[in-house]
Amino acid sequence: METVDIGKALLQLENLSIDYRINTGMLSAVHNVNLTLRHGEIYALVGESGCGKSTIAHNVMRLSIDHNEVINGRIIFEGQDITSIPEPEMEKIRGKKIGMIFQNPLDSLNPVYRSGTQVTEALMLDGMSKKEAVLRTIELFRDVQIPNPEQRIAAFPHELSGGMRQRVMIAMMLARNPSLLIADEPTTALDVTVEAQILRIMKRLQQKFRTGILLITHNFGIVAEIADRIGIMYAGEIVEEGTVFDIFKNPVHPYSRALLSTLPRYHKSLRRIAAIDGNVPRITEKRAECRFRNRCPYSSEDERCATQSPNAVSFGSGHIVRCHRAEEDRV
């Protein structure tokens, strides 16, 4: 096992809460999230659809200004609170210091420009000459293992396969050498054999350039493959956080445990996989209670689950759990 040299804090979320005004009241999408991502670290936010993981990613990037959105708490990037800085300042950070890749690369590449041009343009924004930029683009394409980069820079996005497009996206992000890369379900639309290639590229980037990666995914397989730290989200909250080994070897929160046991890994003759009954709730009313309460097998044993929000309990060196039951077994 190689050890990744993990440095100081790159991105910090402090008590981040995001609510949306909807017709019938407020929808709590993210609630009191605390998270620290260090230089050269891959942090995976894992959860089911609607748990708020993408909302966090989009808000760190401040992709759209939604007037129905209410943000509380702080997003600190490289020591600077970026929640309240004006848009022109943010433009200097977005793309330059924070890059983002999406699930569907066809939507995020401009269909009327050649794939190489889009990367070259990004480089020229930083004052590179055209000739230099083209050479650098070819080099970047080679970095993300695009075969025949000299020819591929002239291809239009629709002429490339899904995996190639995702590589172009990564190359485009790399062009500005960001210190943080946000990857929102980067391989969900790809075939497994291609997914493996993309994951390997991301891992190499992290090691070579010490890029911090915030990985948003629902796929535990890719998390086990490349993440250093994991935050498991449920209904807008991080219910458990720890290193990849903490979570896979010693999950504490009932939700993390249940989720890991629902992954089909066995042959059916061996046993049925455990399932979690019910669905993820939409939280429109903030109450002092545990948000996993209605699906938790233990909630009936403990009245605090219905009357108090669970506190974050530390299990030593960054392994944090929000569960009333965990408080008793604190290490």
Answer for which of 41, 184, 195, 241 binds other proteins (CB under 8 A) is: 195
The alpha carbon of residue 44 and the mean position of all alpha carbons in its chain are separated, in whole angstroms, by 5
Quick check: 3 binds other proteins (CB under 8 A)? no
Quick check: 147 binds other proteins (CB under 8 A)? yes
Work out how close the CB of 48 gets to other proteins at its nearest, in angstroms, rounded to a whole number: 4
Q: What would the x/- binding string for other proteins be over residues 28 to 67, using CB under 8 A?
A: --------------------xx------------------
Span between the terminal Cα atoms of the chain, in Å: 26
Nearer CB in complex with other proteins: 175/205: 205
Quick check: 194 binds other proteins (CB under 8 A)? yes
- Piece of 74-82, 93-101, 113-121, 185-193 that binds other proteins (CB under 8 A): 185-193
Answer for which of 23, 64, 84, 317 binds other proteins (CB under 8 A) is: 23
Work out how close the CB of 300 gets to other proteins at its nearest, in angstroms, rounded to a whole number: 19
Answer for which of 148, 151, 262, 284 binds other proteins (CB under 8 A) is: 262
Question: What gap in Å lies between CA 303 and CA 324, rounded to an integer?
Answer: 10
CB burial of 278-293 (b: ≥16 within 10 Å; e: otherwise) equals eebeebeeeeebbbbb
Quick check: 225 binds other proteins (CB under 8 A)? yes
Distances in Å between the alpha carbon of 302 and those of 311, 322, 325? Answer: 15, 14, 8
Quick check: 193 binds other proteins (CB under 8 A)? yes
Quick check: 90 binds other proteins (CB under 8 A)? no
Quick check: 1 binds other proteins (CB under 8 A)? yes
Answer for which of 245, 287, 300, 331 binds other proteins (CB under 8 A) is: 245
Cβ 135 vs Cβ 123: under 8 Å: no
Answer for which of 108, 219, 294, 308 binds other proteins (CB under 8 A) is: 219
Residue 300, judged by CB atoms within 10 A of its CB (0-12, 13-18, 19+), counts as exposed
Nearer CB in complex with other proteins: 175/252: 252
Quick check: 2 binds other proteins (CB under 8 A)? yes
Question: Which residues bind to other proteins, rule: CB under 8 A?
Answer: 1-2, 23-24, 48-49, 147, 161-164, 191-197, 199-200, 218-222, 224-227, 244-245, 248, 258-259, 262-268, 272-277, 279-280
